[in-house]
Amino acid sequence: MTEEVQALLGKEYRCLDKGFVRLIDVMGDDAAIVQAARVSYGSGTKKVHEDRGLIRYLMRHLHTTPFEMVEFKFHVKLPIFVARQWIRHRTANVNEYSGRYSEMKDEFYVPDPDQVRAQSAMNKQGRAETAFDADEAEKIRASMQQTQEMLYGQYQDLLATDLAREIARINLPVSNYTEWYWKTDLHNLFHFLRLRIDPHAQYEIRVFGEAMAEIVKAAVPLAYEAFEDYILHARRFSRLELEALRSMLTSLPTVEELESRGLSGREAREFLDKMQ
């Protein structure tokens, strides 16, 4: 582990009002991806001269298994409703704080004023681009917080009667914070990030995704760069969209023109293949 990565271990990346992401451990780095790929592809990979080129080739062609050779473990504190979205990523290991064994803590998510927004008119699942006016937002926030305090008070009262923890907690809201250790490989982590950094993801999980992206970028800079170029900032075009594109282009650029834009020679030829 490089000193830069070691310096990240345990560091709290604050997320939302009371949450965080902390990198607990990481196995492997960019070199581990290359090492695994060279086992798979043997002498066939000698032609790709250097690590960066190989990693970019792997990412571009969805040769995903070498990325599985890197593993990340995080400690996360997050609201229950975020945990419920997160846990849908099944290829991961999880140890979550248990409300059956232990008392839930007095910590609840309240959105920042600028996140108190109307239902999106465009997007059945999202919120609008702009926030409520400041007074209205503050009123909603205050009311949310008051409710949370009341619910935690009731929870404490129930525990005081010696009611079993596993029952006493049933009226705690999904804004209550929980914690977990979450461990996954880099391929699945990229898949998580692609879906959760996306503007269509709920803001509250996106914040965690962005913090993790920052960590991942520091730990595996070449792989992260390739992820950005070929996945995150790439777009897929359907059969009909491709037809439209082809008909719109009166002429195709040369390999040289494409290279002058930063594409490798091989990428340039792949691009021209796609356009024909």
- Least distance in Å: CB of 4 to a copy of itself? 18
- Least distance in Å: CB of 107 to a copy of itself? 13
Look-up of token digits 């082809």: 246
Q: Which two tokens stand for residue 161?
A: 């009667």
**Backbone conformation region of residue 174, classed left if phi is above 0, alpha if psi is from -120 to 50, else beta:** alpha
- Would you say 182 and 92 are in contact if contact means Cβ atoms under 8 Å apart? yes
- Least distance in Å: CB of 239 to a copy of itself? 4
- Would you say 128 and 119 are in contact if contact means Cβ atoms under 8 Å apart? yes
Active site residue 196: yes
Long-range contacts of 55-59 (CB under 8 A, 24+ apart): 55/30, 55/222, 55/223, 55/226, 56/222, 56/225, 56/226, 56/229, 56/230, 56/264, 57/266, 58/33, 58/226, 59/223, 59/226, 59/227, 59/229, 59/230, 59/231
Which of positions 76-135 make contact with a copy of itself (CB under 8 A)?
A: 79-81, 83-84, 87-88, 90-91, 93-103, 109, 111, 115-120, 124-128, 132
Compute the distance between CA of residue 144 and CA of residue 146 in angstroms, rounded to an integer. 5
| 2-10, 11-19, 67-75, 207-215 -> range binding a copy of itself (CB under 8 A) | 67-75
- Least distance in Å: CB of 211 to a copy of itself? 19
Which of positions 161-220 make contact with a copy of itself (CB under 8 A)?
A: 161-167, 169-175, 179-181, 183, 185, 195, 202
| 2-10, 14-22, 138-146, 206-214 -> range binding a copy of itself (CB under 8 A) | 138-146
Which of positions 233-272 make contact with a copy of itself (CB under 8 A)?
A: 233-245, 248-249, 253, 258, 261-263, 267, 271
Compute the distance between CA of residue 225 and CA of residue 219 in angstroms, rounded to an integer. 11
Instruction: Provide the 10 A C-beta neighbour count for residue 197.
Output: 17
Catalytic residue among 22, 38, 127, 196, which?
Answer: 196
Query: Of the two residues 96 and 107, which places its CB atom closer to a copy of itself in the complex?
Result: 96
49 binds a copy of itself (CB under 8 A): no
- Least distance in Å: CB of 14 to a copy of itself? 19
31 binds a copy of itself (CB under 8 A): no
* Residues that are catalytic: 196
